[in-house]
């Protein structure tokens, strides 16, 4: 009966995988009540100060001081590298743009006199996923600085049955996938705007109809069921 309710609830979802959304709805409806963690202060502090790291799918503008005829825009390939003539393949993913600029300046020093290369991120790769009690469940293009609430708004906003104080963020971390509780009602009321965390490519935002219980069990079941269909997210 619980599974039927979950499937009925998610019948209108269109843009996400039907299987993914159905599993999310069933797990949300069937899990027992329990507490689970909000994003810690360390996570929020790291987001506030961490420089942007180049990711697979980004498009980079490579700019040469005094030799603009060499300027080029290049995509970061699935292996994390870019191709430039005449230096060949260069690792880009995982580096800050300033770091990559220094690497390229050194590589081009054998071809140019005192090269000065700067790197500009022209467009960002990656996707975030929004499901559950939103008007238009969707896979949204990632942009740097995108927050959980902005992603929900891009997916049409909350439905009237949304549980705003119990939104779940699923994120891939070095130790594996982890779930966090986001109290987005506190963001909307102004009580705690820091709860509106910045997202990363591959993040999943799930807005439940009722309280999702043990987040570790939820994340484990969701990922175990969805892993064959879940997008590969490189970790650097």
- Residue 1's pLDDT band, with cuts at 50, 70 and 90, is very low
Q: In this structure, what token pair is assigned to residue 28?
A: 């949300």
* pLDDT computed for residue 138 by the predictor: 87
pLDDT at residue 95 is higher than 60: yes
Greater model confidence, 69 or 41: 69
Q: Which of 62-76, 91-105, 111-125, 168-182 has the lowest mean pLDDT?
A: 168-182
pLDDT of residue 19: 36
Domains of the chain: 2-49+126-226 (3.10.560.10), 59-123 (3.30.1950.10)
Structure tokens at 89: 């393949």
Put the strands of the sheet holding 127-132 in their side by side order.
Answer: 138-141, 127-132, 204-207, 167-173, 176-182
Higher pLDDT, 217 or 67: 67
Banded model confidence at residue 214, pLDDT cuts 50, 70, 90: low
Q: What is the pLDDT of residue 236?
A: 44
How confident is the model at residue 130, as a pLDDT?
94
Mean pLDDT over 68-73 rounds to: 94
For 98, counting Cβ atoms within 10 Å of its Cβ (0-12 exposed, 13-18 middle, 19+ buried), the class is: exposed
Q: What is the pLDDT of residue 5?
A: 40
Task: Write out 42-109 in H/E/C secondary structure.
Answer: HHHHHHHHCCCCCCCCCEEEEEECCCHHHCEEEECCCCCEEEECCCEEEECCCCCHHHHHHHHHHHHH
State the chain's maximal CA–CA distance in angstroms. 73
pLDDT digits (tens, 9 = 90+) for 149-196: 999 999 999 988 888 988 999 988 778 788 899 999 999 999 988 889
pLDDT in tens, 25-37: 434 443 433 344 5
Predicted confidence at residue 72, as pLDDT, reads: 96
Q: How far apart are CA 19 and CA 31, in angstroms?
A: 18
Confidence of residue 221 (pLDDT cuts 50, 70, 90): low
Specify the 3-state DSSP secondary structure of 181: strand
Mean pLDDT of 186-208: 89
pLDDT at 161: 82
Do residues 234 and 93 touch, judged by C-beta distance below 8 A?
Answer: yes
């Amino acid at each position: 009966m619980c599974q039927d309710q979950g499937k009925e609830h998610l019948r209108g979802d269109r843009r996400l995988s039907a299987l993914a959304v159905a599993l999310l709805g069933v797990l949300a409806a069937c899990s027992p009540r329990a507490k689970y963690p909000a994003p810690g202060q360390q996570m929020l502090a790291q987001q506030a100060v961490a420089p942007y790291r180049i990711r697979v799918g980004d498009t980079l503008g490579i700019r040469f001081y005094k030799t603009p005829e060499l300027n080029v825009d290049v995509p970061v390939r699935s292996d994390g590298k870019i191709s430039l003539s005449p230096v060949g393949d260069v690792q880009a993913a995982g580096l800050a743009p300033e770091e990559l600029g220094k690497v390229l300046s050194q590589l081009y020093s054998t071809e140019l006199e005192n090269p000065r290369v700067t790197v500009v991120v022209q467009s960002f790769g990656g996707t975030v996923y929004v499901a559950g009690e939103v008007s238009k469940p969707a896979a949204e293009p990632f942009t740097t600085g995108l927050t959980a609430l902005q992603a929900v708004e891009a997916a049409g906003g909350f439905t009237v049955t949304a549980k705003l104080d119990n939104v779940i963020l699923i994120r891939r971390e070095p130790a594996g996938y982890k779930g966090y509780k986001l109290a987005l009602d506190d963001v909307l009321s102004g009580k705690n705007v820091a709860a509106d965390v910045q997202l990363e490519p591959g993040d999943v935002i799930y807005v439940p109809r009722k309280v999702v219980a043990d987040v570790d069990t939820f994340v484990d079941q969701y990922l175990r069921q969805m892993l064959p269909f879940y997008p590969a997210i490189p970790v650097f």
